Amino acid sequence: MNKKVLIIEDDPTTQRLYAHIFREHFPEVELDIACSVRKATEHLQNNDYDLYIVDLMLSDDTSGSIMINTYYRPMIVISGIEVNNKLHSVEYLQKPIRTNELVSLVKKLIYK
């Protein structure tokens, strides 16, 4: 069964970058992209995901409500600010991300 990933990111350029990385490194993964907390919530109502990649600061809200609703699923939180605390099943990357770091984390979290 194919893995499913939800990317929650409001910047269109960054969305395209993540989509490119997944097409190149994980072509078998089904990828959904949400540009807001509202859109992410719609995706969450209709799908079950193996991994979430979440921008910490979204234009319509912070990603905190998404993190609460997906607490027991693997998640990569990406932020332009340094985040020091660790939560269950959450990994952090600081922008600008390095492709190799994202690829390594995705492998670690969905192909354990």
> Who has greater pLDDT, 6 or 87?
6
What digits encode the pLDDT tens for the residues 50-79?
999 988 777 655 555 555 555 567 888 888
Rg, the chain, Cα only: 13
**How much is the pLDDT for 90?**
77
Sign of CA dihedral 61, 6, 86, 80: negative
Give the domain range for residue 96: 4-110
* Tokens representing residue 67 in the block: 């993190």
Q: Give the number of domains in the chain.
A: 1
Instruction: Kindly report the CATH number assigned to the domain that includes residue 76.
Output: 3.40.50.2300
Q: What is the average pLDDT score of the chain?
A: 84
Would you say 85 and 109 are in contact if contact means Cβ atoms under 8 Å apart? no
Left if phi > 0, otherwise alpha if psi is -120 to 50, otherwise beta: which for 12? alpha
